[in-house]
Amino acid sequence: MTDLLEKDKDKLLTELSAAASADKAIHVLENEIDKLLLKHNEQCETDRERESAAYMMQAVRLSLPLIDSNGKIKVWESGGRKDDEDNGGSFKLSFLVLLIIGLALCVFGFGPLMMDAYMSVEANARDQVILHGGATVVGLIALYFSGYMYSRPKKVKGKKEYQVDIRVDADRIYRNFRTALLSVDQSLEEISAAERWKAREKAGSIDGRTVTQSELDLFSELLAAAYSGDPEYALEKVEQIKYFLHRQQIEVLDYSKENAKYFDLMPGSKAATIRPAMVAQGGLLKKGLASTGR
């Protein structure tokens, strides 16, 4: 499997790199499994190897979701500012200094005027001077704070949205997939070795039994007749088949009305045996074929 995979490596890596998600990468690998299994079965010599390969590759297919495929991960943010918090509401040192300077200037500027006005007015009007002077100082402070509140950064309200972009790692997927196929190859090699040994043990046998010397002699004579190209010699050797079967207690019967039950009949110009029947101890082994004649 790995040898076949190496031939498709470049194409497979290209398809995996183009996969935008793990699900699509798994789909690519499933298609590759089908191709590898088809090519492998074409090279197999036994059904057991083909069946074993099919079961193993099915196990690999079912394990594909377990393959680590995550590569680079990117997070995209939209719908708000990154520093959404309000940084303008804290009581900073610079603000305190400006506040003290402003109050000192107010006292310096309005203090003497207030004192002169307070001393020069009548006693019953001094409360009015204190009231208006205090209102002026408070007004100036209020104006200062209003300017501060106006100039501080505004808080941006809005819901942030995040988009996660995960790209699969094609090289990592390929390495993990190849590792799984190496395990499959090892198991298939063990099965193939067992099949070769089994075939070796069957060498020189027919249907699991040792071939007899009489069978070897018969087959050798028939092959010699086929190689000779002499029809008469070939027919002579074919007649030996009846003797060989007789020794195995198998009788070869020609067509006659008495043994017609052992034959399939077909119309013909004359009654004749087309293929003899084979019988052992009165039991039919193989039906013959004969023409009945007119």
Mean pLDDT lowest among 49-63, 73-87, 109-123, 239-253: 73-87
Check whether residue 116 and residue 244 sit in a common domain. no
Check whether residue 197 and residue 222 sit in a common domain. no
The answer to whether residue 80 is domain-embedded is no
For the stretch 215-251, pLDDT in tens is 788 788 888 888 888 888 888 887 888 888 888 888 8
* pTM for this prediction: 0.42
Check whether residue 187 and residue 222 sit in a common domain. no
Asked if residues 79 and 159 have their Cβ atoms less than 8 Å apart, the reply is: yes
Query: In total, how many domains does the chain have?
Result: 3
Q: What is the pLDDT of residue 79?
A: 54
The answer to whether residue 161 is domain-embedded is no
Mean pLDDT of 81-105: 57
Residue 268: pLDDT over 60: yes
Check whether residue 65 and residue 172 sit in a common domain. yes
Q: Where are the alpha helices (DSSP H) in 121-212?
A: 126-151, 170-202
Check whether residue 225 and residue 178 sit in a common domain. no
Distances in Å between the alpha carbon of 1 and those of 12, 32, 34, 184, 189?
A: 14, 11, 11, 8, 11
What domain range is 134 assigned to? 93-151
Q: What is the pLDDT of residue 70?
A: 61
For the stretch 4-44, pLDDT in tens is 888 888 888 888 888 877 888 888 889 999 999 898 888 88
**More confidently predicted of 167 and 249:** 249
The answer to whether residue 281 is domain-embedded is yes
Q: What is the pLDDT of residue 86?
A: 47
The answer to whether residue 82 is domain-embedded is no
For the stretch 194-212, pLDDT in tens is 877 777 666 666 666 777 7
